[in-house]
């Protein structure tokens, strides 16, 4: 038994050394790629140049690429004999933010949204790191083909930020036109973890997200005569307060949920009570049944308040919920444990730490919700330099979070750590299947 364990450890150490050799050969290329991607961000559903660059990266590594799959996304396949099928995913889109890091390579891009509005663009969510690691993994796996057997599928996905890219790829036939993977892996940067640290979680790690639009009707009139109106602004404020009791008094305290009103608009002038108010709300949850309860409660509360104000049925609020939402991201426990056992052979270099679930959304979750029931695992890669991480322990010096215009990952070390973690996990899974 000890001999077998020693063989596994020696094999893992040998794999790590080989990955490091390939990494060293590609380090400058990956850093240059990161800087290019960071300085040329493209918004969701508009990643044409980014996708072309990802296609070039995959083809240079020896993958057969299918571009424009379900939009700007692409599928890269490397068949290497008989064996398991492993899929690795990256996202490509940037955010409509003006970068304020002041770095020499800061994004200066100003572009137009799909709606035609001119906006600055920035990779404030680390997708430039994701893509650079993805390219590094492709190059590493190609260089180490003698050490694994099976089929590696690497996908570069559009529009994660607007939660449409994964769904579009699945609808385009990702799991019908290509081999169905045994496992799917992805990672996300984590600003408050130090470089060299890999974060993991089992079960729910990111929340389900569903936007809710509510139109509240009333009876408008002069602000001097409120008794002759039914004020939809007042009704909306009552609804907003009552929504908070859904979480605090209707849900099991062990079932986390968030209801946040992000936008409320009504009226045009100081002294005019409007006819209607529009609200935009985000609902976040870890269980589908929790969202179903929230939706039902919202409909009950809005109708009840409208009735109490004397509105007739034709003026009841309209609660609109998208049928296609971002589901909770559930990491497969068995797959997590398999990857942990692989990484623990390399733990002196890659530090492992369990991280708490978050209420952010990630459409990587969609790949685990298909009829094929494919196990998925998204881990985290730290991007804080040791100095930044030490300073971050002080409340006064908290690091910029994701989606901040000040987010500046320590890419020089984060990219190699990401490549090492992902490549070792993929090779290990090929060996274990």
Query: What Å distances lie between residue 228 and 217, 224, 231, 337, CA to CA?
Result: 15, 9, 9, 65
Active-site residue (options: 42, 47, 91, 346): 91
Tokens for 290, please give them. 């929790």
Rg (CA), the chain: 24
Distance (Å, whole) CA 328 – CA 360: 9
**Residue in the block written with tokens 């409208």:** 306
CA distance 263 to 382: 33
Say if strands 110-112 and 118-120 run parallel, antiparallel, or are unpaired: antiparallel
Quick check: is 20 catalytic? no
Report the C-alpha gap between 83 and 433 in whole angstroms. 8
Closest among 234, 191, 203, 198 to 216, alpha carbons compared: 234
Catalytic residue among 161, 183, 192, 362: 161
Give the closest residue to 99 by CA, choosing from 65, 128, 123: 123
CB atoms within 10 A of CB 10: 11
- Catalytic residue at 334? no
Decide if 379 contacts 184 (C-beta within 8 A): no
Q: Are 377 and 331 in contact (CB under 8 A)?
A: yes
Residues annotated as catalytic are 91, 161
């Amino acid at each position: 038994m000890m001999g077998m364990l020693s063989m596994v450890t020696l094999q893992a150490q040998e794999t790590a050394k080989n990955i490091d050799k390939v990494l060293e050969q590609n380090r400058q290329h990956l850093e240059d790629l990161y800087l290019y991607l960071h300085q040329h961000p493209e918004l969701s559903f508009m990643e044409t140049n980014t996708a072309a660059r990802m296609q070039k990266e995959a083809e240079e590594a020896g993958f057969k690429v299918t571009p424009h799959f379900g939009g700007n996304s692409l599928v890269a396949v490397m068949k290497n004999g008989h064996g398991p099928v492993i899929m690795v995913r990256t996202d490509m889109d940037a955010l409509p933010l003006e970068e304020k890091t002041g770095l020499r390579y800061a994004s200066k891009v100003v572009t137009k949204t799909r709606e035609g509005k001119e906006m600055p663009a920035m990779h404030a969510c680390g997708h430039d790191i994701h893509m650079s690691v993805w390219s590094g993994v492709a190059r590493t796996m190609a260089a180490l083909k003698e050490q694994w057997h099976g089929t590696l599928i690497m996908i570069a996905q559009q529009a994660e930020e607007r939660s449409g890219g994964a769904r579009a790829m699945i609808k385009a036939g990702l799991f019908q036109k290509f081999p169905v993977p045994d496992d799917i892996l992805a990672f996300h940067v984590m600003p408050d973890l130090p470089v060299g640290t890999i974060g993991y979680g089992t079960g729910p790690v990111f929340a389900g997200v569903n936007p809710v639009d509510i139109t509240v009707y009333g009876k408008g009139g002069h602000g001097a005569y409120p008794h002759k109106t039914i004020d939809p602004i007042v009704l909306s404020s009552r609804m907003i307060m009552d929504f908070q009791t859904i979480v605090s008094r209707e849900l099991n305290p062990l079932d986390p949920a968030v209801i946040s009103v992000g936008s409320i608009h009504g009226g045009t002038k100081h002294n005019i009570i409007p006819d209607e108010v529009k609200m935009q709300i985000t609902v976040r949850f870890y269980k589908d049944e929790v969202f179903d309860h929230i939706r039902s409660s919202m409909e009950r509360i809005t109708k009840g308040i409208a009735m109490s104000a004397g509105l007739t049925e034709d003026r009841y609020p309209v609660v609109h919920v998208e049928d296609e939402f971002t589901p909770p991201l559930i990491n497969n426990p068995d797959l997590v444990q398999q990857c942990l056992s692989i990484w623990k052979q390399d733990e002196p270099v890659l530090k492992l730490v369990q991280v708490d679930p978050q209420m952010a959304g990630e459409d990587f979750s969609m790949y685990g919700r298909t009829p094929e029931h494919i196990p998925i695992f998204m881990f985290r890669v730290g991007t804080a330099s040791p100095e930044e991480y030490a300073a971050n322990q002080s409340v006064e010096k908290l690091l910029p979070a994701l989606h901040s215009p000040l987010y500046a990952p320590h890419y020089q070390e984060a990219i190699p750590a990401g490549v090492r973690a992902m490549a070792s996990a993929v090779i290990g899974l090929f060996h274990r299947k």
